[in-house]
Amino acid sequence: MVDSPSGRKVHLTPMPRVGGLAMAIGAVIPLCLWAPMQPPLAAFLMGVAVILIFGVWDDVKALDYRLKFLGQIIAVLVVVVWAMW
């Protein structure tokens, strides 16, 4: 899971691609451990999970921008619908 330099890239050396995974874990674990699990928080965490799945999928296999945008739309819909229940 390394992003190699190419004509479209700015970086000149190979870069790791899954830094977002570590950041998401670092943000979600404290929320799950210490915040009271209420519907708005559960909705937020479900949206984060959708974004995380699409992000890791994009890191493993370069996704088309339309598919990434679809993932963002799905995440928003999950949050909105889940929070309303």
Question: Is the pLDDT assigned to residue 11 strictly greater than 80?
Answer: no
pLDDT of residue 80: 95
| Total Cβ atoms within 10 A of residue 11 | 10
Task: Judge contact between 57 and 63, C-beta under 8 A.
Answer: yes
Task: Judge contact between 17 and 2, C-beta under 8 A.
Answer: yes
pLDDT of residue 85: 76
| Domain spans, the chain | 18-84
pLDDT of residue 68: 96
